[in-house]
Structure 1
Amino acid sequence: MFGSRAKHLCRPDQRDALWEFKNEFYVEESSQYALWSNNTDCCYWDGIFCDPKTDSIGNLKYLRVLSLRECNLFGKIPSSLGNLSYLTDPDLSFNSFSRELPDSMSNLNRLRYLKIVSTKRSGNFPHVLLNWTELTSIDIRSNQFEGMLPSNMSTLTKLEDFEINENLFSGSIPSSLFMIPSLIQLDLGRNDFSGPLEIGNISFASKLKVLFLGENDFNGPIPGSISKLVNLSYLDLSLWNTGKGIVDFSIFLHLKSLTFLDLSYINTRSMVDTSVFLQFLMSLDYLDLSGINLKINSTLHISSCISTLSLSSCNIGEFPKFLQTETSCLSYLDISANHIEGQVPEWLWTLPELWFLNISQNSSSGFGGSASVIQRSELEMLDISSNTFHDLPLLLNSTKFFFGSDNWFSGEIPKAVCKLVSLDTLVLSNNNFSGCFKYFTRISVLHLQDNTLSGILAEGSISDYLRSLNVGHNKLSGELPKSLVVVENNRISDTFPFWLGSLPDLQILVLPSNEFYGPISYPGDSLSFPKLRLFDISDNRFTGGLPSDYFALWSAMSLVVDIVENIIRRSSI
């Protein structure tokens, strides 16, 4: 701030910012900046001048780079930004701006980069952008923009990066967008675009490397002209609706530079030979073919070094044997929701980089391999839910997340499981575990509902790190621990847990079919559950009456939203 000194113009936030800035540097004792004193008026610090006429950002006419990222700003973007005629790089992301861009910003003809990510903005596509012919990057992801894209997008002749992911844009995509010769990254995913895609006649050597079209409402054939985008390294066409038509998957063989390919849940009746991708696309690192009928040749050899492979819901009948030779790169494997029977093969544990394995919703019944082989694995996440396992597998010290619900487990939960120091999430619901409730040391998510566990649910048996506990439909007794709980259909004998009123983020309180007793309100006291959405204390022995304003402060209950279903689903993982 430059100008004459003035009293009481230094706001505390400005003073603190200057103080932090100064502390980032070494300042000699002889320097004038060493005389600055915190908690004093910074307008009187050496080197600082305050002037009320320069408070407006619009007066910084030579400003080139403006970053207001994550500043908790709200309201409309000030029209005075239009005065910054030298501005090239504004970043207004992660704030709460409302309304459209001010018309005055059409004067900013030097803009090169524009970032307005996740600002809750709505309205149509800001046509003012088409006036900024020097733009090389437009990033307006994660907002609520709607309507159609303008047809004359090709006027942005220098555009390299166009990202509008996670908005509400609809209609068709103008083919002029693909005619921009400088375009390198095009992210149109997670919108409501529809209709067939017209890429047009690409007569030039396209520079496009990233094309994200997934999670829209496209229908019709996948355009064969995609094969001309030979520099593509990232391609996402997920959830494309071909109307159960035939897809010529050979068009992807021309894309030799692909490292990321997501074709998941394309609506096609075609059966795909996995060798098309795994044997001929030698740069491939990420492949998702979920939801497509696959043909897997047992002699298939992988030519690329794939780290992520998703083959969920692909009508696979056995563990893909070609993975046995994939010993160097594979770290993430999802083969859930298939028809795989028998034992999990021993060679699976020998994959040195594998840390994520999802084999849920199959018909697997056991694990092959000795304890010494399994212990060499570095798995962190294992999901075997909805299978026919009888014996709980040997979990590793590296295991952080284990999902084993809906199997045929019985007996006591092994003590070794309770003592795993890395274990964060344990889900064993809907089995037949019995015996006493165990001690879990560092668990943050523990779901054991629908078993036959017994014993006292003591405070000491619950981890201090616990965020979510569901032990409903068991035979537990004792008092209610002070945790986020779902404990219906047990034998808990206690008074109403008034201490829950100290948990402002509590969303679920489910205590039915127990032996709770006494009143649930006291004269003069009002429970406040501002975020509570699910409340069930039925089939207990509570007594007394309820004041007329008992639910007055339960504000979330009055909102018409779909969050309740999400909460219920998460609590019953």
Structure 2
Amino acid sequence: MRSPTSINPDKMGCQLLWVFVILTLITIGEGRRSIGGACNPNDLKGLRSFKAGIRSDSSGRLAKWVGPSCCKWEGIYCDNTTGRVTEINLPGFFTLDGAPFQSSMEGWLSPSITLLTSLEVIDLSGLIYLTGNIPPSIGFRLPKLRKLSLFSNRLSGPVPETIGKLSKLEEIYLHENNLSGSLPSSLGNLRNLKRLDLHSNRFSGAIPDSITDLTNLVSLDLHANSLTHRIPEKIGNLQVLEELDLSNNSLCGRIPVSITNLTAISALYLDTNHLEGEIPFPSSSGQMPSLGFLRLHANLLTGRIPAAFGYLTSLQRVSLSNNKLEGPIPSSLGKLSSLTELYLNGNQLSGQIPGSIHQLSALLILSISHNMIQGPLPYEMSSLQDLQTIDLSFNRLNISSIPKWLIGLRSLSRIYLAGCGLRGEIPEYLQSTQISLQELDLSANHLTGSIPEWLGSFTQLYSLNLSGNSLVSELPTSITNFGYLDNTFSRGIQQIGKGVQSGIQYLNLSHNSLKGRLPTSIGQLVSMQSLDLSYNELGSDLPVSLANASSLETLKLQKNRFTGRIPDGFLKLGKLQELNLSDNLLVGKIPFGSPLSDFPKSSFIGNRGLCGKPLGSCKA
């Protein structure tokens, strides 16, 4: 038996190794962080000039920059051997006392920063109010620079052509500034560059062909500029590229066929441009095997959706909407087993929805609205039990009634069937559904009969559109029964506010033949933002309680038969941005004050008994 004082030599060696590693890391960290003694004169001069250009620093870090030992200053890192400054690390967003903190610096970027000729990292990102230009001397004086991060500031002017001399640059982040001019062709000289993010500036002109020489580039983001001309034909040279975002520019021409050479691409965003021609990829199996996110919407693309689209088996989200695509939806889309979102709306697609769509078991959002798709809907769609949103509006479906299998989809919460040829009354079996409806749009159909009282039982409904039908009878009081909800919307739907109690927010029953009074309980809908009851036959006085709907931004009651005065309480509708009470039977003086007095005459005309601003003055 081993004595308590005996030592295992293997264990001791292991412990000594860890001590050595820890001491080494500490030494490296200290050497990178700070050293004793005075700062290199040029480094000191450059840092002091930078500080002099800053009028205010909400973080208080620059106030601690005192004395000659700049390597001990906050945000400054030095090389232990040479004593030269290697990093300026002063991002606006950082951790302070264990909590995230957003700071700002107001002032300008001094060109003297290039006096620090051993710099490897410059991070002055997210300082919000930092102005000035990227100094042209950056290319001559900072040969060791690996990372340049100046995003989310107010820098202006061009990216200097000299940036191409920084041969060791691996990362450039200049997005969300006011930079302008053409992209320098010298960018193609940065053969070690892996990430280039220039989005949300004011760059114009063409994407330089030289950018295809950046064969180590992993991420390229140029969206939201004013770039024009074509995508470089040799874009496929960037074979290690994983993310390419050229969206929201003015790029024209065709998508280069060479784009299929992007074998590592996982996210491709070319939307919101002027691209034309057919979709050139994929042409065979195995191309672009990692592509998961594809956005080509809002272009001028023509032709058919390639039958080979099914080869892109990694696709999760696809948007081809708002183009000029035609022909049938290829059945090969059923092979995209990972697909969660599919947007094909706003094209000229025809034929029927292929039965193979039932294979998309992970599908959450399906949008095919504004096409020429014909019915019937394939019953196979009833297997899409994870589907949350379906939009088939404005096609040539002529489905007559809402399919019973559709309301049996357990996860469905948003149904858009506007302009689909629905006829007859709103079906009773909709009442028995177990789904939790949040949005329902049955507008622009041929629905008849009355609005059923049981609609009020959909306690999570926040958007209801039954406009453009032939519904009759009185407006049911049950519309004010819509309860409160805790919004937990997922993919593709903007969060309205988790945990915020909110009743119905959008109610559109316009262009029907509804009669009777507007229920006084309408004022209980305190979260309602838009109410459109125009083009009906509603009458009697405007309920005073409507003034309690304090969130109203849009109120459209024109072309009805409302009588009496406009309640003074309407002056409490401070968020109102759109108002139309025209062509009714209202009388008396319009209550004076904002917001009513701020609207034009067109909001009140057609009421012969109304007077006061903005109409003519009232007679004594």
Normalising TM by the smaller chain, what interval? 0.7 to 0.9
Greater shift, 257-266 or 176-185, is seen at 257-266
Partner residue in 2 for 1:514: 584
Code of the residue aligned with 2:339 in structure 1: it is I
Contact 2:109/2:132 (<8 A) preserved = no
Q: Which amino acid aligns with 1:159?
A: L
CA distance in 1, matches of 2:125, 2:521: 48
Q: Could you list the per-position Cα deviations for residues 10-64 of structure 1 after superposition, in whole angstroms to 9, with x for gaps in the alignment? A: xxx999x99xxxxxxxxxxxxxxxxxxxxxxxxxxxxxxx98979xx99756274
Residue 277 to residue 164, structure 1, CA distance change in 2 (3 Å) = same
Establish whether residue 112 from structure 1 lines up as the match of residue 147 from structure 2.
Answer: yes
For the residue of structure 2 that corresponds to 1:217, the secondary structure is coil
| Structure 1 segments unaligned to the other structure (5+ residues) | 1-12, 19-49, 550-573
- 2:376, 2:317 → 1: CA distance? 27
Contact kept, 8 Å, 1:433 with 1:452, in 2: the verdict is yes
Q: How far 1:371 sits from its partner (Å)?
A: 4.8
Larger displacement relative to structure 2 (224-233 or 96-105): 96-105
CA distance in 1, matches of 2:259, 2:281: 12
Equivalent residues of 1:342, 1:365 under 8 A apart: yes
| 1:193–1:444 CA distance, 2 compared to 1 (3 A) | same
Corresponding position: 1:479 with 2:542: yes
Gaps (5+ residues) in structure 2? Answer: 1-55, 78-87, 94-100, 483-502
- Sort the Cα spacing of 1:545 and 1:422 in 2 relative to 1 into closer, same or farther, 3 A: closer
Shift of 1:359: 0.4
| Deviation at residue 355 of structure 1 after TM alignment | 0.7
Equivalent-residue separation in structure 2 for 1:172 and 1:77 (angstroms): 29
Closer/same/farther in 2, CA of residues 256 and 81 from structure 1, 3 Å limit: same
Distance, in Å, in 2 between the alignment partners of 1:456 and 1:234 is 54
Question: Within the alignment, does 1:460 sit opposite 2:521 as a pair?
Answer: yes
Change (3 A) 1:520 1:128: farther
Aligned residue identity for 2:509? L
1:423 Cα offset (Å) = 1.0
TM-superposed CA distance for 1:80, in Å, is: 9.4
* CA distance in 1: counterparts of 2:451 and 2:584, whole angstroms: 24
- Measured after TM superposition, the shift of residue 217 of structure 1 is 3.1
Change (3 A) 1:528 1:259: closer
Whether contact under 8 Å (1:317, 1:338) holds in the other structure is no
1:482-533 per-residue CA deviation (whole Å, 9 max, x = no partner) reads: 23211112223343455444444431121111233222355xxx53689968
In structure 1, distance between residues paired with 2:465 and 2:115: 56
CA shift, 1:537, in A, is: 1.0
Give the aligned partner of residue 36 of structure 1: none
Matched, 1:65 2:89: yes
From 202, 205, 208, the equivalent of 1:174 is: 208
- Residues 432, 528 of structure 1: CA spacing in aligned structure 2 closer, same or farther, 3 A cutoff? closer
Inter-partner Cα distance in structure 2 for 1:445 and 1:190: 31
| Pair 1:491-2:576 in alignment | no
Write the mapping of 1:407-422 to structure 2, written as runs, cut at 5 A. 407-422=445-460
Partner of 2:511 in structure 1? 450
Structure 2 partner of 1:429? 467
User: In the alignment, which residue of structure 1 is the partner of 2:341?
Assistant: 308
Contact in 1 for aligned 2:571/2:591 (Cα 8 Å): no
Q: Relative to structure 1, is the Cα distance of residues 293 and 517 closer, same or farther in structure 2, using a 3 angstrom cutoff?
A: same
Distance, in Å, in 2 between the alignment partners of 1:493 and 1:369 is 37
1:277 correspondence with 2:309? yes
1:144, distance to aligned residue in structure 2 (A):
4.8
Q: Partners of 2:160 and 2:588 in 1: how far apart?
A: 60
- Matched position secondary structure for 1:250: coil
Shift of 1:101: 5.1
Match of 2:252 in 1: 219
Secondary structure of 1:432's partner? Answer: coil
Percent identical across equivalent pairs?
24
Q: Which has the larger radius of gyration?
A: 2
Residue 189 of structure 1 corresponds to 223
Could you tell me whether the CA contact under 8 Å between 1:346 and 1:367 is conserved in 2?
A: no
Pairing 1:235–2:268 present: yes
2:409/2:435 contact within 8 Å kept: no
Of 137-146 and 219-228, deviating more is 137-146
Deviates more, 1:342-351 or 1:242-251: 242-251
Q: CA deviation at 1:406?
A: 0.8
> In 1, Cα distance between the equivalents of 2:407 and 2:605?
46
Report the secondary structure of 1:287's partner residue.
strand
**SS of alignment partner, residue 461 of structure 1:** helix
Q: 1:547 to 1:286 in 2, by over 3 A?
A: closer
CA distance in 2, matches of 1:89, 1:339: 54
8 Å Cα contact 1:337-1:360 kept in structure 2: yes
Q: What is the rounded CA distance, in whole Å, between the counterparts of 2:295 and 2:567 in structure 1?
A: 48
Q: Hey, what's the Cα distance between the residues in 2 that align with 1:490 and 1:318?
A: 40
C-alpha distance 196-491 of structure 1, shift in aligned 2 (>3 A): same
Change (3 A) 1:168 1:416: farther
- Are the aligned partners of 1:179 and 1:202 in contact in 2 as well (CA < 8 Å)? no
TM alignment of 1:139-150, pairs within 5 A: 139-150=173-184
Q: What residue in structure 2 maps to residue 351 of structure 1?
A: 384
What is the match of residue 538 of structure 1? 605
- Give the number of aligned pairs: 496
Q: Deviations over 1:414-462 (max 9, x none)?
A: 2232221111111222111222223232211111111122222234134
Paired position in structure 1 for 2:29: none
Quote the offset at 1:238 in angstroms: 3.7
- Aligned amino acid, residue 563 of structure 2: S
2:368 to 331, 335, 354: 335
**What letter matches 1:527 in structure 2?**
S
Q: Which amino acid aligns with 2:610?
A: F
